[in-house]
């Protein structure tokens, strides 16, 4: 007003028709979007594929799973087929052996052999000698160490090769490795699924209702988590026996607590959100609130944490097998094979190396995959542990 | 406007929140007010004074500690049976403050708007879709927007989706909890005008909670001022702006920015100090100083306010 009064002449000299009233009874009507609708999971997918490391991890997991399914039937040997005459055989894959790369050629070091005998086809069949080392004279005898193709040395055909060697009972490591991977993955996936199932229900109820219900339910989880894990698991297996089921149950018996806590925290995070309040003012019943409004919003952390729980379940299973609480023989698992391989590490390192590579790949891949998923589900958490 | 018909009566409403083991925070302190059918009731006050708590208690997101709430003469305070809750949810609706967090990010617009309908037994998808499309048109959106997710919309659009959701259940009373305070100034008018139009069309009563006094004055027929859980003044909008009595109201009004920089520069801000009240001898209560104009004051103060009004004339 003051502004107007001070400059009255200036304002009044502007002709009236130059003033136009803006936004009077203007109907608001928005235009249609040009883009395609992007749903939540599409959005996650777009973010996920940007993360190269986790895509590679996902591919590795996929390949390992394929091998875990098809691997055992690719070899002619069965996982429990014993060949007492062919124990601790070195790995040989004929196609790779032909390339002379020095790997998978069934090479085995025979020490202190008489040089003269090497040409005797009775003792050393045609083409079995790969490399001669350390020629020396001992008591006038020409002594050498010699690398032989052990399969030819034993008089076996190429078709009978153990691709990854055999173990102390002459069982095919290839077959056992993939069957063990299958068993380990099954144990891990099933136990994590059970964890998530129990944990989501328990955590939802605890987190949604809060108050006294929450108080009692959380004290119960604290009691459960206060027992040392290894004691509980050991006792459980001793009571229930060493089957696949009891190993799964022993992993579930304590681990669901973590999932329950995580889900509860998610519920506390989301239940006060305005859209949940809005749904309550519309009269949405509790069950629908839990499963339609709160749970879908916490699905990201749940999927991520269960992905990260899988390698730790694999590891736990291996650990149990390692301390002798694993599956009943002859059923293989990665842990059983590792614990066997470790005993002969110095003489037959390949028996340890292959299961170790597979378990390492699984652990790294699942961790990377889980991290990628977490970043995709919730970009604000990028880089946080 | 028929002022006689009360749609909502709040009597002596108290709401305590537990803070810590023993301590309590009284968010609402014996609030008494009536809202008449068809009016816009504005509720103002500073942050944390209990405006939102009042709104949420009325729609029973919170359980009141004591007091009574009557809606169309039916009590909706105290323990609720399922039919009571249905009665509340189908007659009262709420519009929320934050357009971002008040829409579920995992649901499409259609799912959000039709949720209330589905709970009330509208099973036929085609019928639902038609209602949703009508509502979307009503709030200035397109039916094509129904399949979209909330994150694809702007703040004003989302707030309009929130309004459509509230309207879907055909309520007679809407609690608008700061519906425009999170919006851009240019969008505020758009949403307010939309609310006004819809109100006229659907014969609604609106409890409008805000802290922007200019918006409240534009929107409301009557205004209540709250201070720390207490309703300190209640009057017709013009009356309140022309003759504020309670020192807190005066202080609030003095804080309104003026669109004229020269006057704004000379403006005198008043600060409210609760110590000006002497309640040692006379207890304060909400008293009618002049018809329709209530002030929370003790008897001597009321005398003083009346004198003030006489002089003002």
Residue B138's CATH number: 3.40.50.300
Domain that holds residue B26: 6-243
The token pair at A359 is 């378990």
Residue of B nearest to A285 (CA): B119
pLDDT tens, A203-261? 999 988 888 888 999 999 999 888 888 888 888 888 887 778 888 888 888 888 989 99
CA dist A185 and B54 (Å) reads 55
CATH topology of domain A173-381: MetI-like fold (1.10.3720)
Which pLDDT belongs to residue B1?
Answer: 45
Q: List the single best residue of A273, A278, A290 to mutate versus B (max B Cβ within 10 A).
A: A278
| Residue of B206, B191, B230 whose CA lies nearest to B45 | B230
Q: Tell me how far apart the alpha carbons of residues B244 and B297 are, in angstroms, rounded to a whole number.
A: 13
Instruction: For residue B306, tell me if it sits in a domain.
Output: no
Judge contact between B46 and B249, C-beta under 8 A: no
State ipTM: 0.84
How far apart are the C-alpha atoms of B3 and B287, rounded to whole Å? Answer: 19
Residue-wise pLDDT tens digits, A186-195: 888 999 999 9
Q: Closest Cα of chain A to B98: distance in Å?
A: 8
The dihedral of CA B66, B51, B222, B192: what is its sign? negative
Please count the other Cβ atoms lying within 10 Å of the Cβ belonging to residue B4.
Answer: 7
Quick check: B93 and B173 in contact, CB under 8 A?
Answer: yes
Q: State whether the Cα torsion A42-A44-A48-A54 is positive or negative.
A: negative
Compare CB distances from A283 to B86, B108, B262 and report the shortest one's residue: B86
CB contact under 8 A, B190 and A28: yes
Cα(A87)–Cα(A348) distance, integer angstroms: 11
- The answer as to whether B191 is a domain residue is yes
- Region B83-100: mean pLDDT is 86
Question: Does B259 reside within a domain?
Answer: no
Residue B118 lies inside a defined structural domain of this protein: yes
- Asked if residue B297 belongs to a domain, the reply is no
pLDDT at A29: 63
Average pLDDT over residues A164-177: 79
* pLDDT the model gives residue A194: 92
Span A127-142, pLDDT tens digits: 677 777 777 877 878 7
pLDDT digits (tens, 9 = 90+) for A62-105: 999 998 888 777 777 777 777 777 777 777 776 666 776 667 77
Residue B301 lies in a domain: no
Domain tally for chain B?
A: 1
User: Using CB atoms within 10 A of its CB, is residue B274 exposed (0-12), middle (13-18) or buried (19+)?
Assistant: exposed
Q: What is the mean pLDDT of chain A?
A: 80
CB within 8 Å of B260: residues ≥ 6 apart: A1, A2, A3
Contacts of A300 in chain B (CB under 8 A): none
Cβ atoms of B165 and B112 closer than 8 Å: yes
Question: Would you place residue A380 in the very low, low, confident or very high pLDDT band (cuts 50, 70, 90)?
Answer: low
Q: Which DSSP helix (H) or strand (E) runs through B145?
A: none
pLDDT at res. A384: 46
Instruction: Categorize the per-residue pLDDT at B267 as very low, low, confident or very high, splitting at 50, 70 and 90.
Output: confident
Q: Output the DSSP codes for A259-322.
A: HHHHHHHHHHHHTTSHHHHHHHHTT--HHHIIIIIIGGGGHHHHHHHHHHHHHHHHHHHHHHHH
Distance from the Cα of A69 to chain B's closest Cα (Å) equals 35
Nearest chain B CA: its distance from A276 CA (Å): 8
pLDDT of residue A385: 41
Q: What is the pLDDT of residues B11-32, one digit of tens each?
A: 888 888 887 778 888 888 888 8
User: Alpha-carbon dihedral of residues A258, A259, A264, A266, nearest 10 degrees?
Assistant: 120
DSSP letters, A54-85, are HHHHHHHHHHHHHHHHHHHHHSSS-TT---GG
Interhelix angle A229-240/A244-270, rounded to 10 degrees, is: 140
> What is the pairing mode between strands B285-290 and B293-297?
antiparallel
Establish, for the pair of chains A and B, how many residue pairs have beta carbons separated by less than 8 Å: 98
Q: Residue B273: inside a domain, yes or no?
A: no
Rounded-to-integer distance, Cα A57 and Cα A362, Å: 9
Query: What residue spans in chain A does CATH classification 1.10.3720.10 cover?
Result: 173-381
pLDDT (mean) for A16-42: 69
Highest-pLDDT range among A138-147, A153-162, B126-135, B250-259 = B126-135
In a domain, B312, yes or no: no
Residue B99 in contact with residue B158, Cβ under 8 Å? yes
């Amino acid at each position: 007003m003051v502004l107007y009064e001070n400059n009255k002449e200036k304002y009044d000299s502007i002709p009236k028709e130059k003033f136009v009233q803006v936004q009077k009874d203007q109907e608001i009507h928005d235009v249609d979007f040009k883009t395609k609708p992007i749903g939540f999971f599409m959005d996650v997918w777009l973010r996920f594929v940007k993360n190269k490391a986790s895509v590679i991890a996902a591919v590795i997991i996929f390949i390992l799973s394929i091998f875990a399914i098809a691997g055992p039937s690719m070899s002619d040997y069965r996982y429990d087929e014993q060949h007492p005459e062919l124990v601790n055989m070195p790995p040989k894959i004929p196609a790779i052996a032909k390339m002379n790369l020095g790997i998978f050629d069934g090479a085995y070091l025979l020490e202190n052999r008489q040089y003269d005998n090497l040409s005797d086809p009775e003792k050393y069949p045609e083409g079995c000698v790969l490399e001669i080392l350390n020629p020396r004279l001992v008591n006038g005898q020409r002594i050498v160490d010699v690398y032989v193709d052990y399969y030819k040395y034993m008089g076996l055909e190429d078709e009978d090769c153990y691709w990854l060697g055999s173990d102390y009972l002459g069982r095919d490591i290839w077959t056992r490795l993939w069957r063990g991977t299958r068993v380990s993955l099954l144990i891990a996936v099933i136990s994590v699924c059970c964890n998530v199932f129990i944990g989501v229900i328990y955590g939802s109820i605890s987190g949604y209702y809060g108050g006294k219900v929450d108080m009692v339910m959380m004290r119960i989880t604290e009691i459960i988590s206060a027992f040392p894990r290894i004691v509980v698991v050991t006792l459980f297996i001793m009571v229930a026996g060493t089957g696949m089921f009891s190993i799964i149950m022993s992993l579930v018996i304590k681990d669901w607590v973590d999932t329950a806590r995580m889900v509860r925290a998610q519920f506390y995070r989301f239940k006060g959100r305005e859209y949940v309040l809005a749904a309550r003012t519309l009269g949405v019943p509790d069950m629908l609130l839990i499963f339609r409004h709160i749970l879908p919003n916490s699905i990201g952390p749940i999927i991520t944490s269960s992905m990260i729980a899988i390698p730790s379940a694999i590891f736990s299973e291996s650990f149990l097998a390692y301390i002798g609480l694993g599956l009943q023989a002859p059923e293989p698992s990665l842990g059983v094979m590792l614990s066997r391989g470790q005993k002969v590490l110095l003489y037959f390192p390949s028996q340890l190396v292959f299961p170790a590579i597979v378990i390492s790949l699984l652990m790294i891949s699942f961790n990377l995959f889980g991290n990628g998923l977490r970043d995709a589900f919730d970009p604000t958490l990028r880089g946080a542990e | 406007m028929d002022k006689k018909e009360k749609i909502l009566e709040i009597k002596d409403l108290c709401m305590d929140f537990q803070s810590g083991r023993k301590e309590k925070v009284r968010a609402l302190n014996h609030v008494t007010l009536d809202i008449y059918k068809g009016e816009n009731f504005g509720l103002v006050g500073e942050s944390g004074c209990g405006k939102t708590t009042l709104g949420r208690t009325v729609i029973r997101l919170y359980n009141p500690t004591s007091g009574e709430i009557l809606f169309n003469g039916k009590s909706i305070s105290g323990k609720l049976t399922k039919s009571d809750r249905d009665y509340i949810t189908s007659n009262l609706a709420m519009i929320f403050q934050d357009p971002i967090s008040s829409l579920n990010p995992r649901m499409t617009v259609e799912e959000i708007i039709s949720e209330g309908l589905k709970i009330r037994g509208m099973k036929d998808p085609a019928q639902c879709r038609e209602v949703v499309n009508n509502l979307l048109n009503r709030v200035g959106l397109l039916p094509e927007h129904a399949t979209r997710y909330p994150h694809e919309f702007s703040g004003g659009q989302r707030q309009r989706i929130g309004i459509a959701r509230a309207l879907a259940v055909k309520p007679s009373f809407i609690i608008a909890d700061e519906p425009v305070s999170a919006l851009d100034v240019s969008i505020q008018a758009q949403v307010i005008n939309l609310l006004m139009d819809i109100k006229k069309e659907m014969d609604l009563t609106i409890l409008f909670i805000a802290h922007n006094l200019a918006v409240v004055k534009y929107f409301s027929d009557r205004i209540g001022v709250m201070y720390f859980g207490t309703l300190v003044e209640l009057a017709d909008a013009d009356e309140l702006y022309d003759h504020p009595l309670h020192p807190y109201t005066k202080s609030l009004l003095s804080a309104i920015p003026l669109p004229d920089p020269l006057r704004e520069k000379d403006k005198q801000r008043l600060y409210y100090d609760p110590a000006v009240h002497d309640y040692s001898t006379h207890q304060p209560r909400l008293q009618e100083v002049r018809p329709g104009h209530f002030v929370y004051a003790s008897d001597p103060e009321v005398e003083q306010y009346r004198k003030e009004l006489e002089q003002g004339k």
